[in-house]
Amino acid sequence: MKSRKKTKYNLFVFLQDMIKMIPFHTGYLLLVAVINAFLPTVQALAIAEFVNRVEGAYGGALGVHMVLVPLILLLGIVVFKQMIPSVSNLVNASAQNRLKTVLRNRFMKKQAALQYRYIEDSQSCALIYRVCGEVEGRFWAGYQTVCNGIELVVKCVVLMSIVMQASVLSGAAILLVSVPLFSLAYRTGRQNYVLQKDAVEVKRRYQYLSAILSDRDHAKERTLFGYSGQITKEYDRLSDYANQKEAAIEKKRYANMKSGSLTMVMLAVIIMLLLLPALSSGKLSNGLYVGLVTSILNLVQGMSWNLSGIMQGVADFNAYLKDVNVFWAMEEKEDAAAEPLKIPGFRVESIEFRKVSFRYPGREEYVLRDCSFVLRGNKCYAVVGRNGAGKSTLTKLLTGLYEEYQGQILINGKDLREYRYGELKWMFSVVFQDFARYALSFRDNILVGNVKEDKEQLLEQVMEKMELGACVQELPWGLDSKLGKLEKDGVDLSGGQWQKLAIARLLYSEAPINILDEPTAALDPKGEAKVYEMFWQVTMEGERSKEEGISKGEGISKEEAHSMEKFTILITHRLGAARMADEILVLDQGKIVEQGTHKALIGLENGLYKEMFDSQRCWYET
Amino acid sequence: MRHKNFIYNNLVGIRLLYRMFPKSIILYSVLQMLHGVSWVLQVMSVQYFFDGISENGGDILPLVVKILLLGAAYAFAQTMNGVANCYGQILNRKVIKETNKVLFRTIDRKDAIAFEYAEELDRINKAVRGSEGVFWVSTTILDILFFYAFYFVVMSWYLFSLAPVLSISTVIIFIPNVITRLLHMISFEHLENEAAPVRRKMDYYGDCVIGKEYYKETRLWGCGSYFFDRYNQMLKKLNGLHFRMQLRKERVNFCIHVLTVAAYGAIIAMLVYYVLAGIISVGAFAAVFAALREFYGFMDEVISERLAIAIENMAMVKNYLAFIGEDPGEQEQIALPEKFEIRLEDVSFAYPQSGTEGEKFVLSDINLRIPWGQTVALVGENGSGKSTLCHIIAGLYSPTKGTVSYEGVQKGAGRIVRGISAVFQKFCRYSMSLGENIRISDAAGDKSADRLNRICDDVGVDPGWAGGMDGMLGREFGGTELSGGQWQRIAIARGIYRNNSLLILDEPTAAIDALEEKYLYEEFGRLSRNCTSIIVTHRLASAQIADRILVIKEGRIVQDGSHDELIAAEGEYKTMYELQRQWYQ
């Protein structure tokens, strides 16, 4: 595993790897390839023997016993050719199974450990998809192509060596002729691969129009705006253009392929002609000549398809290995797969951004620019701002999803980068706007919030607080009902119920810092108000019972009091919800432009918060 | 039964192709026929040559001629193979273009509701895929007739001419192949069905670790290994199923191949017998033996590949043919008068659903009159039926019960071509230029730059986003990718660009922040002075720009009146309004 991170895949490394993973299967395939390579020659010899014996016995008494040996050989070839595919298919299935287990695990682990930036980058995603989708199939196909290549080469060499034996001179002449012809065939095969790649680009545009004209996403606008006629005209024009281009490519491709075949036919004819003197002088028996010609002609038939198939396979696979190398070279996040790691006795005292600047990889503009602010423990904060002001970026930086920022982020005065990733995971729990709706049971969906401990009591408390009891009772199997469509008996929750579940998950985790990142964007105002009300109530309650518990000195230990303490950051563009926070931060153009209580901010003349708040409030003034 | 259908549909497909490209289809058949002939010529030339060797007395020249003849036959076969296949590929593209155009026209004439109906959608999707396969599937019969059958018939005749009994080898070789096919069709479907849910689960658990949807959260909660374990469990199970399936398949295959070998053996035995008996020449033996491989290969190809693939894809093509057969024909084009009143009478609506108990009405008993020029706001909770009502008013959905009419013109008579425009909640983002993105709503209309620029200006679309009106948008073709708010504004501009007397705005500001939202609502207020407009909104306060507010709850209109009227009455609207207002106190 470790060495793989350093070594790059090339054909050699790949073969080594394959042999290590599936020694039996690779061996088998190679063996079959080699046997297959010898078959045409064996067949040629068998036919030669047969013809010679028949001819030798013309006029004389001819019995089956005389031709028994070549006949058995010929039949043997038929048996081998017919029976082996069944065995090969089984080996195939078994090899792919084994490869699947090894490779998928290996590739998925890498994928799960990547820096998060790759996941949000569509180009990297496309590459990852290309590399990891059906990886076992790609590897196996790569190996098959190699074996096919070996088979083809050995086939030609063996056959040639028989020819050489018959007549060294003509053999040498044949070699001389065949090298340039062969290389011509090879080159055209390669060219075809390039041509085919070009054709794909041309297609994409009219295929897009075809989607507009027929898919569901565009159905309403298509019907309402009635643009089908116009777009169809455009489709017609574009596909005519593309078809013309593709027809040209297709013609060239076939011309290439078939000129390769014709070359091979020519080669076969030349071989036959060159062997004629040997035949007439008797050096070469009639039988062997016929046998050789039969085999050579058979080879010619398959050659053009085989050769261009192998060429394409090799080129495809090389491109694939290149992608694989790019994938393996992608940076990993340290401890990416770590479980949350508790820091004993940790209390949030402060979170500080010190001149933090950040832009997404590959982007010009900065999302955060010299952004500085301090959040103190024991308070609830809200971050507001226009769309695209960088609010959600704060979450991504805090939770270590992106690390390529300038400046410093400090938690309790210690640089975020100095915490272990597991510790950060423990420290934060987040409800994202697009929070995960796992197709697990209701219970497991909440337990995900704290994978290390299973605290039935806490689960009950959380459920009660989020008023999920009634919802669970309605489900067919209560807490153990499967959610989502993965199982046949899975049930789906409404948007509001999922929302509550997501917050319950967050409450169930013992993270000292909670972030709610626009968690209610998908709810209507009524549902939204309800969720916020509930959430504030829960956090306030935590505060209160902590105070009570400590002051009364009973029931609650200090440790438990800590776990209830929830330092909260709410990110929203709905100002009404933000005002309930102890302090509000206003983010604009990558900076915090205002920070303070609702009252303080509303008092700021020309303040952005006031402006936004007023613009929403004025609707409600009568 | 199945095969009868197959042939019938195939013929329907060919008729369709023939109507589109009569000359090309005939040419294609001729090429395939020549292709078939060319392969037989090869065999004959080989025999001719081999016989020449046996009879040769040391004279090289006649052999050279025969070799050249043989070379010519092979070259001819290779050329024909290339020409016929290449022509097929090119023709295929042309055909796809035409079949697609027919498909698009049919889709265009269908009601938009078809896309909301799982089964119908599935059918449309199959028809779309079927359109691509019409050529290959339909020409299977042509290929079989003109290429394979021709080859087999001529070969049989050739074999017959050598020795009459030999021609039965065609049949002998044919039988095991057919049996294999039949067995494959019957016996493996259930195993595939067993594997499908396991595969789905495996893919899902994999997605939980590495899918974009779950990636960050699975990482942050640290629950990756949990899903990994489940993934591996499923993988193991799937592998087991897979191997078992293959094992069963191969067991059948093995038996079949024993048959094939026997058949092969029988033919060779016959050949040998004839050679030994002096009935056929040893050259013919070698030639036939060499050709047997091809012979068998073609048989395998036609049955295991061509026919199998054609049968597999036939369902899709059948779907396509049935789908375009349903073409409702040219619809009457209705241009609504410039000013019209909208009237809904006893309108109820249920999404078409099959298999579930009873119909679930999203809207029930809606009676509504919207006089010309009114601005109406629709408010209510998520899922209350607001968007559906919009779609009905826009004429996209036909009501399940009741009628919708515009100044007396009843919806259902034809397609409304002018007068209604809308901005939907899920608006489209076209990977086209900025200008095209807006003009698409009135694609046939005048293309004056003035109108476009004015509208852009009104709703705050800045051509600079894409580097001008001709700048491409969307990553698909390397254009600029805009933010959600920018796309939303383009969608609004698109809605307005259409020549309309009724403008429907379904939550048009969901992706726009508070400051700009207010500005846009003021703009809507101004725009709606010249037309009837319907606005769906969550922000109750913004409903105040409307003349009239409809509160929808569980598919019914529960309140109807102006803002002042509704605020004065106890009810849903007041409760909701107060709830929102208290946030801004």
A425 touches chain B (CB under 8 A): yes
- Let me know if residue A134 belongs to a domain: yes
Q: Where are the domains of chain B?
A: 1-162, 335-425+501-584
Question: Is residue B181 a contact partner of residue B308, using CB atoms and an 8 Å limit?
Answer: yes
A422 touches chain B (CB under 8 A): yes
**Helix B118-143, helix B22-55: angle, nearest 10:** 40
Average pLDDT value over all residues in chain A: 82
Distance CA B353, CA B347 (A): 18
Residue A233 has pLDDT above 50, yes or no: yes
CB distance B124–A524 less than 8 Å? Answer: no
Residue A82 has pLDDT above 90, yes or no: no
At residue B65, the 3 state secondary structure works out as helix
Range B335-425+501-584 has CATH code 3.40.50.300: yes
Chain B contacts in chain A segment 160-219 (CB below 8 A): 204-205, 208, 210, 212-219
B261: Cβ contacts below 8 Å, ≥ 6 apart: A78, A79, A82, A83
CA distances from B519 to A588, B489, B525 (A): 19, 12, 10
Residue A30 has pLDDT above 90, yes or no: yes
Question: Is residue B121 a contact partner of residue A216, using CB atoms and an 8 Å limit?
Answer: yes
CA A97 to the chain's CA centroid: 19
**Dihedral, B548, B549, B552, B555 alpha carbons, nearest 10:** 10
Distance CA B430, CA A208 (A): 9
Distance CA B543, CA B583 (A): 17
Distance CA B137, CA B16 (A): 12
Taking CA–CA distances from A61, the nearest residue in chain B reads B276
Query: Do A416 and A559 lie in a common domain?
Result: yes
Strand partners, B550: B378, B560
**Residue after which a domain boundary falls, among A273, A301, A332:** A332
A615 touches chain B (CB under 8 A): yes
Least confident range from A104-118, A374-388, B200-214, B429-443: namely A374-388
Chain B contacts in chain A segment 25-64 (CB below 8 A): 47, 50-51, 54-55, 62-64
- Structural domain tally of chain A? 2
Element (H, E) at B506: strand B500-506
State the average pLDDT over residues A406-426: 92
| Chain A residues inside the 8 Å CB shell of B584 | 575-576, 613, 616-617, 620
Distance CA B469, CA B436 (A): 8
Select, from the ranges A327-331, A332-336, B293-297, the one with the highest average predicted confidence (pLDDT): A327-331
| Chain B residues inside the 8 Å CB shell of A231 | 440, 443
Classify strands A414-415 and B333-335 as parallel, antiparallel or unpaired: unpaired
Element (H, E) at A352: strand A350-358
CB distance B265–A438 less than 8 Å? Answer: no
**Dihedral, A207, A213, A219, A224 alpha carbons, nearest 10:** 140
Q: Which string of DSSP letters, residue by residue, matches A119-164? A: HH-HHHHHHHHHHHTTHHHHHHHHHHHHHHHHHHHHHHHHHHHHHH
Query: Do A437 and A538 lie in a common domain?
Result: yes
Chain B contacts in chain A segment 548-567 (CB below 8 A): none
Shortest distance, CA A554 to any CA of chain B (angstroms): 32
- Let me know if residue A185 belongs to a domain: no
Shortest distance, CA B540 to any CA of chain A (angstroms): 9
**Residue after which a domain boundary falls, among A304, A332, A360:** A332
pLDDT for position A555: 44
Shortest distance, CA A477 to any CA of chain B (angstroms): 20
**Residue after which a domain boundary falls, among A266, A301, A332:** A332
CA A436 to the chain's CA centroid: 19
pLDDT for position B236: 95
CB distance B97–A204 less than 8 Å? Answer: no
**Dihedral, B36, B38, B41, B43 alpha carbons, nearest 10:** -70
Report the candidate in A206, A249, A263 with the shortest Cα–Cα distance to residue A231: A206
ipTM of the complex: 0.85
Strand partners, B421: B503
Query: Do A305 and A358 lie in a common domain?
Result: no
CB distance B584–A224 less than 8 Å? Answer: no
CB distance A525–B443 less than 8 Å? Answer: no
Read off the tokens for A462.
């959380």
- Let me know if residue A578 belongs to a domain: yes
Residue A561 has pLDDT above 70, yes or no: no
A617: Cβ contacts below 8 Å, ≥ 6 apart: B584
Distance CA B43, CA B40 (A): 5
At residue A250, the 3 state secondary structure works out as helix
Residue A93 has pLDDT above 90, yes or no: yes
pLDDT for position A560: 46
State the average pLDDT over residues A566-590: 84
pLDDT for position A29: 96
CB distance A213–B104 less than 8 Å? Answer: yes
Residue A552 has pLDDT above 60, yes or no: no
- Where in the sequence is the domain holding A324, given as residue range(s)? 1-166+286-332
Interface test with B, best of A86, A270, A434, A532 (most B CBs within 10 A): A86
Query: Do A616 and A532 lie in a common domain?
Result: yes
Distance CA A458, CA A481 (A): 19
CA B355 to the chain's CA centroid: 24
Distance CA B240, CA B232 (A): 12
- For the range B246-252, what are the long-range contacts, defined as Cβ-Cβ under 8 Å and sequence gap of 24 or more? B246/A89, B246/A90, B246/A92, B246/A93, B247/A90, B248/B187, B248/B188, B248/B191, B249/A89, B249/B184, B249/B188, B250/A86, B250/A87, B250/A89, B250/A90, B252/B180, B252/B183, B252/B184, B252/B187
pLDDT for position A283: 80
- Burial track A296-322 (b if 16+ CB lie within 10 A, e otherwise): bbbbbbbbbebbbebbbbbbbbeebbe
Taking CA–CA distances from B247, the nearest residue in chain A reads A90
Taking CA–CA distances from A446, the nearest residue in chain B reads B221
Please report the sign of the dihedral spanned by the C-alpha atoms of residue B141, residue B142, residue B148, residue B149: positive
- Let me know if residue A197 belongs to a domain: no
Interface test with A, best of B61, B96, B219 (most A CBs within 10 A): B219
State the average pLDDT over residues A491-502: 82
- Let me know if residue A550 belongs to a domain: yes
Query: Do A320 and A401 lie in a common domain?
Result: no
Please report the sign of the dihedral spanned by the C-alpha atoms of residue A131, residue A135, residue A140, residue A141: negative
Read off the tokens for A362.
């590959």
Strand partners, B376: B534, B548
Query: Do A32 and A124 lie in a common domain?
Result: yes
Query: Do A328 and A358 lie in a common domain?
Result: no
Tell me phi and psi for residue A526, to 5 degrees.
-65, -45
Query: Do A102 and A10 lie in a common domain?
Result: yes
- Let me know if residue A485 belongs to a domain: no
CB distance A108–B424 less than 8 Å? Answer: no
Shortest distance, CA B353 to any CA of chain A (angstroms): 17
Query: Do A290 and A410 lie in a common domain?
Result: no
pLDDT for position A3: 42
- Mind listing the pLDDT tens digit of every residue in chain B (585 residues)? 455 677 788 888 889 899 999 999 999 999 999 998 898 888 889 888 888 887 766 678 888 999 999 999 999 998 999 999 999 999 999 999 999 999 999 988 887 777 877 778 888 888 888 888 888 888 888 888 888 888 888 888 888 888 888 777 777 777 777 777 666 665 566 667 788 889 889 999 999 999 888 998 899 888 889 999 999 999 999 999 989 888 888 888 788 788 888 888 888 888 888 888 888 888 888 888 877 777 777 877 887 778 877 877 787 888 888 888 887 777 777 777 888 889 999 999 987 764 445 567 889 899 999 998 899 999 888 778 888 899 899 888 888 888 888 888 877 656 666 788 999 888 888 988 999 999 998 877 777 788 889 889 888 888 888 888 888 888 777 778 787 788 888 999 999 898 788 999 988 776 677 677 778 888 888 887 788 999 998 777 777 788 899 999 888 999 999 988 988 988 888 888 887 777 776
| Chain B residues inside the 8 Å CB shell of A276 | 60, 63-64, 67
Tell me phi and psi for residue A561, to 5 degrees.
-60, -40
Query: Do A387 and A311 lie in a common domain?
Result: no
CA A415 to the chain's CA centroid: 33
Query: For residue A594, what is the domain's CATH number?
Result: 3.40.50.300
Residue identified by tokens 């040996």 is: A69
- Let me know if residue A532 belongs to a domain: yes
pLDDT for position A454: 75
Confidence band (pLDDT; 50, 70, 90) for A550? very low
Q: Which amino acid is at A105?
A: N
